[in-house]
Structure 1
Amino acid sequence: MDDDMRNVFALTTALESYQVEVIFAENGKDGIAVLQGNPDIDLVIMDIMMSEMDGFETIRVIRQLPEFQSVPIIALTAKAMKNDRKECIEAGASEYISKPVNLDRLFSIIRVWLYR
């Protein structure tokens, strides 16, 4: 879930090059609806800075849904402040990565969470 189409395009292109099926939502509210309509989703990449419903709030709502309590959520943020990782994990994210995204690191994190 990300509201910056440049980021969405770049990440989608990179993920699809590894035969990952990507389902996009522009904001947290839409993302929750997408998740509920696709209960077989294996992993969520969540932008923290979104309009309407930020990533922290969205992650908290997702974690309250029984069917998504254990789905891995990788939080992304551009602001890269000192406590970002702690805040993301406390909100319910499985892992955190700052922007600009290092794709090798992202794919490593994805592999770790998908093969647990």
Structure 2
Amino acid sequence: MADNKILIVDDDNRNIFALSAVLKAKGYKCLSATGGEEGLDLLKKEKGIAVVLMDMMMPGMDGYQAMAEMNDHPELKDIPVIAVTAQAMLGDRERCINAGAVGYVSKPINVEELTKLLTQYI
């Protein structure tokens, strides 16, 4: 099986905890970061991350900025990012996809929907 490591980037530890618990129960390995900069550092250090679940609204470096940085980095630009956001407003999905995300899930997260997305990339 391909590497099934997922990086969760979210400024709310409760979201990280809940997502990690669900994903670990499904056999995924989870790493987490509480901001865009920390997420990028982890991506550079930790090899084999298959997918990034990126919260789009975070203080400091948000998900859009983090994805832009990933796109500028040769080793990170091919790692798929699934945008996670509570902002389920009209146009948000397009904005996330245009910023480089391969998929989009809104909070509260539908685990079935997320799992389907993950299986496309892992």
Q: 2:96 aligns with which of 85, 88, 93?
A: 88
User: In structure 1, the residue corresponding to 2:117 is in which secondary structure?
Assistant: helix
1:31 is matched with which residue? 39
- Name the one with the larger helix percent: 1
How do 1:1-116 and structure 2 match up within 5 A? 1-114=9-122
Instruction: Check conservation: 1:39, 1:67, Cα contact below 8 A.
Output: no
Q: CA deviation at 1:39?
A: 2.7
SS in 2 for 1:107: helix
Identify the structure with bigger relative contact order (alpha carbons < 8 Å, sequence gap 6+).
2
Q: What is the RMSD computed on CA atoms of the aligned residues?
A: 0.8
Q: Which amino acid aligns with 1:3?
A: D
**Unaligned regions of 5+ residues in structure 2, if any?**
1-8
Q: Sequence identity, in percent?
A: 39
Q: Is the 8 A contact 2:50 2:121 kept in 1?
A: no
**Amino acid in structure 1 at the alignment position of 2:68:** R
Tell me, in whole angstroms, the C-alpha distance in 1 between the residues paired with 2:23 and 2:38.
21
Task: Please list every run of 5 or more consecutive structure 1 residues that lacks an aligned counterpart in the other structure.
Answer: none
Which residue is 2:4 aligned to?
A: none
Shift of 1:113: 2.0
Aligned length: 114
Secondary structure in 2 matching 1:49: coil
